[in-house]
């Protein structure tokens, strides 16, 4: 299929590279910032530009909107009212209605994975969630999704929002806590690598049964230990986070 790529950031680069590798053709990369469009266009060896009229001048089967969630509506407003082509956004939290109001054939395609993969990160199979405005659009979207993953789930916008919220809890929040822990250890000149096995074991337990795997002073309601921890943190956001999470764990158990 011929794909017109709208966006030039991490997700656009990732998806554009995957689809090209799987035999799809990227016909054009559009970005309002020409240098960004050029960088990705050259990488994908296709035409590029920052003129919104290029959508009309470079016809495609699929128009893939790979921009920040809060920019999707503005992009849609600038696009012409396409007839039969499929228009897709790649957001986990954005309702399909933002596209339905303008396009007959539209959908959402969301990788349930962080868009930042560090150099030493090992690639693993990533599930993909799709939603389409009709059966014809869904058939084409599934064909595109299978280029990314063998695990494709058809969910509606509400289900996708719940899934996206869950992803924040299992990905964004824990990663922020890792950052806090790393900062704390660096402050006291302790090696962060000591935590590597603990992080991996916690993730493995989280896959199997997180409720059963919970340990720590908050679960035991060990106030002596928790008070000692609070003294190390003193004031600020880190102390507030520690108190909030400890309270949540204690109340749950």
- For each of the chain's 253 residues, which pLDDT tens digit applies? 999 999 999 999 999 999 999 999 999 999 999 999 999 999 999 999 999 888 888 999 999 999 999 999 999 999 998 888 999 999 999 999 999 999 999 999 999 987 655 555 555 678 999 999 999 999 999 999 998 899 999 999 999 999 999 999 999 999 999 999 999 999 999 999 999 999 999 999 999 999 999 999 999 999 999 999 999 998 889 999 999 999 999 999 9
In this structure, the answer to whether residues 145 and 223 fall within a common structural domain is no
In this structure, the answer to whether residues 145 and 178 fall within a common structural domain is no
Domain boundary (94, 121, 155) is at 155
DSSP type of residue 122: P
pLDDT of residue 97: 96
pLDDT of residue 119: 55
In this structure, the answer to whether residues 126 and 8 fall within a common structural domain is yes
In this structure, the answer to whether residues 12 and 127 fall within a common structural domain is yes
Cβ(128)–Cβ(151) below 8 Å:
yes
Domain boundary (155, 179, 210) is at 155
Token pair for 44: 């994908």
- Give the total number of structural domains in the chain: 2
The crossing angle, in degrees rounded to 10, of helices 173-187 and 237-252 is: 120
pLDDT of residue 26: 97
In this structure, the answer to whether residues 22 and 114 fall within a common structural domain is yes
In this structure, the answer to whether residues 43 and 151 fall within a common structural domain is yes
In this structure, the answer to whether residues 134 and 196 fall within a common structural domain is no
Measure the CA–CA gap between 159 and 70, rounded to whole angstroms.
20
In this structure, the answer to whether residues 145 and 166 fall within a common structural domain is no
In this structure, the answer to whether residues 147 and 195 fall within a common structural domain is no
In this structure, the answer to whether residues 46 and 120 fall within a common structural domain is yes
The set of residues, in sequence order, having a beta carbon less than 8 Å from that of 1 and lying 6+ positions away, is: 24, 25, 60, 61, 62, 140, 143, 144
Measure the CA–CA gap between 156 and 222, rounded to whole angstroms.
43
Nearest C-alpha neighbor of 112 from the set 68, 162, 158: 162
Residue 36 lies in domain: 2-155
In this structure, the answer to whether residues 23 and 144 fall within a common structural domain is yes
């Amino acid at each position: 299929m011929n794909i017109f790529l709208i966006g030039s950031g991490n997700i656009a680069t990732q998806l554009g590279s995957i689809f090209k590798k799987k035999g799809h053709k990227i016909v054009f990369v559009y970005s309002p910032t020409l240098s960004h469009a050029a960088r990705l266009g050259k990488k994908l060896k296709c035409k590029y530009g920052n003129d919104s009229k290029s959508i009309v001048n470079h016809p495609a089967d699929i128009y893939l909107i790979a921009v920040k969630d809060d920019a999707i509506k503005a992009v849609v407003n600038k696009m012409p009212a396409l007839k039969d082509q499929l228009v897709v956004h790649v957001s986990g939290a954005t309702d399909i209605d933002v596209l339905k109001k303008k396009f007959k054939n539209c959908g959402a395609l969301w990788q349930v994975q962080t868009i930042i993969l560090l150099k030493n990160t090992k690639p693993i199979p990533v599930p993909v969630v799709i939603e389409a405005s009709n059966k014809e659009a869904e058939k084409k979207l599934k064909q595109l999704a299978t280029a990314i993953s063998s695990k494709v789930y058809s969910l509606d916008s509400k289900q996708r929002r719940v899934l996206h919220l869950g992803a924040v809890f299992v990905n964004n929040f824990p990663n922020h806590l890792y950052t806090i822990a790393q900062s704390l250890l660096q402050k006291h000149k302790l090696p962060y690598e000591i935590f590597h096995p603990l992080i991996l074991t916690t993730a493995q337990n989280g896959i199997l049964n997180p409720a059963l795997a919970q340990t720590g002073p908050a679960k035991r309601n060990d106030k002596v230990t928790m008070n000692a921890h609070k003294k190390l943190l003193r004031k600020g956001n880190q102390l507030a986070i520690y108190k909030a999470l400890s309270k949540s764990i204690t109340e749950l158990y």
